[in-house]
Amino acid sequence: MSEASLGTHKAGTHKEEAVYVYEAPVRLWHWANAAAILVLCVTGYLIGSPPPSIHGEPSAHFLFGWIRFLHFSAGQILVVGFVFRFYWSFVGNDHAREIFRPPVWRKSFWLGVIHEIRWYAMLEREPKKYSGHNPLAILSMHVLFVWGTLFMIVTGLALYGEGQGPGWIHRLFTSWVIPLFGQSQTVHTWHHMAMWVIVIFAIVHIYAAVREDIMSRQSIISSMFSGWRTFRDGGPTDEH
Amino acid sequence: MASETFYEVMRRQGITRRSFTKFCSLTAAALGLGPSYAQAIETAMETKPRIPVLWLHGLECTCCSESFIRSAHPLAKDVILSMISLDYDDTIMAAAGFQAESIIDETIQKYDGNFILACEGNPPLNQEGMSCIIGGKPYLEQLKKAADHCKAIISWGSCASWGCVQAARPNPTQATPIHKVPGLPAKPIIKVPGCPPIAEVMTAVIAYILTFDRFPELDMQGRPKMFYSQRIHDKCYRRPHFDAGQFVESFDDEGARRGYCLYKVGCKGPTTYNACSTVRWNGGLSFPIQAGHPCIGCSEDGFWDKGGFYERLSDVHGFGIEANADKIGGTAAGIVGAAAAVHAAASAVKRARSNSGANDKREGRD
């Protein structure tokens, strides 16, 4: 980390220090993943509540087929991305493992979570300063995003395997997921419910990113484009 | 008489050799076996003694029996009833009362460990099984006694396989499918779900068991793969309309007249494993979707508890009377979104106040 310089505001100029946080593959994954989730949510919703019926020769149309095709291909991109991202949590930098393996055994991590909750409840005057994610963000990403996505991947592939019939997807997912839930319709319902968990995560994630970009002491949104986290003031960072 | 072979029984009943051979080849075809198996079925039926079957009725509506006796498979009425030595079936047997009940003991004595127990319906466990009384005793006792001595169990229909309507929420009598009845010996169980199962599926399952002396290949849930490995949707003749995006919106619209896909009016074909769209009903004449009605998913576990038959999305229990994934998730997302908006406003106020505070400080007015 570069030498910290005090960020006392002088008229017109201030110094910012920067840390390289998000490596290029992580950034690429983040945006590909975001696009896949957007497509999955929209097409998934339409699969549950199809658009108004169209008329004409069935051989001339493939509307619902395309909706399902988009859902399946976006799902496959999401799966490949997720597998890659998990791999990167081992070979990437320290920040790359945060959301997969949060340091839940550390007291400082939980104190950080409490501090962040107090900060969002507006009980703290000053936010803490993290080069990576703050502890509350890590926790919500780990629980809602990582496990939520894993649930969607497993149930999604199980449902996909139903249409595929015998084969490795059917063997690895469909064969045990459907009996586990009782029947296919129940798996559909849970898969549908979990979509809303992901949607809620996205709302909170985007809101928090915008808010912290404005109110906290470090850059958030631009960091996911450039990879660099800049700090508006000096002083040491708080690590969990 | 039970030591007669199937063939002998059939001949005695006036079935010709020619009809018998036809039946064997058609059965082989229905089971998806190669032509050589017709000979195997023929040999089995000519040489093997009939398998004694106890057909017990618990909580049920007898639709399985009704379906079974209508098997349009060649010679079904004669052959199927001759294939098995149906020693006990309280609904269709001539005997009644003590005479009928004594047959169970007799069969157990004569064929201990060698008869098939066919269960139609399921036992209620609450009130010590008093909600289903056969011959003055809870059905549960009859079932346990027969299961202790049988070779294998066939769970006919959704009642015996999953629980069906009597096990629907809140299931006051605690009607329990056969494989979940506590204290039942670990005998092999084959599930043939459906409300009722297709007649030809029932007779084919029996034909298979007789011919090969074992169950057909079963899936993870214990259903014969040959009939339950594909969804109604996979072989539905209206599938092109589904892919095209042509749906029936209501039962009196143009789409309904044109035979569009019934997905939007709640068809459970995409989540139902059964052979209706291939084997069909009433001798291959038709099946619900062909008649313009959505599949209700009667062969699936808990199909009564998934909400309206004409709704696409399932009811989710625990969130009021009518709630589905979109209503619950959409409401939750709305609350979170509104909370974020309120929080954003509060954050803006706080920031404005702290900024003006900082300005005050800087300007020495604090």
- Tell me: the pLDDT tens digits for B246-277? 999 999 999 999 999 999 999 999 999 999 99
Domains detected in chain A: 18-149+177-231 (1.20.950.20)
Contact between A17 and A231 (Cβ < 8 Å): yes
Say how far apart CA A206 and CA A221 lie, in whole Å. 9
Q: How far is B133 from chain A (nearest CA, A)?
A: 30
Q: How sure is the predictor about B207, in pLDDT bands with cuts at 50, 70 and 90?
A: confident
- Tell me: the pLDDT tens digits for B54-78? 999 999 999 998 888 887 654 555 5
With an 8 Å Cβ cutoff, are A61 and B245 in contact?
yes
Picking from A163, A188, A207, the nearest residue to B340 by CB comes out as A207
Q: How far is B346 from chain A (nearest CA, A)?
A: 9
pLDDT value at position A8? 45
A4: DSSP letter: P
- Ranges assigned E (strand) in chain A: 17-20, 228-231
Say how far apart CA A190 and CA A198 lie, in whole Å. 12
B354 in A contact zone (CB under 8 Å): yes
Q: Is B24 known as a binding-site position?
A: no
Residue range B40-66: mean pLDDT, rounded: 86
Q: How far is CA B148 from the centre of its chain?
A: 24
Q: Residue B316 CB: number of other CB atoms within 10 A?
A: 21
Q: Is the ipTM of this complex over 0.95?
A: no
Q: How far is A110 from chain B (nearest CA, A)?
A: 23
Contact between B210 and B53 (Cβ < 8 Å): no
Q: How sure is the predictor about A123, in pLDDT bands with cuts at 50, 70 and 90?
A: confident
B126: DSSP letter: G
- Tell me: the pLDDT tens digits for B135-177? 889 999 999 999 999 999 999 999 999 999 999 989 999 999 9
The residue type at B135: G
Q: Is B295 known as a binding-site position?
A: yes
- Tell me: the pLDDT tens digits for A129-188? 888 888 999 999 999 999 999 999 999 999 999 998 889 999 999 999 999 998 999 999
Model-level pTM greater than 0.90? no
- Tell me: the pLDDT tens digits for A60-109? 999 999 999 999 999 999 999 999 999 999 999 988 988 999 988 999 89
The dihedral built from the CA positions of residue B346, B349, B351 and B357, taken in this order, carries a sign that is: negative
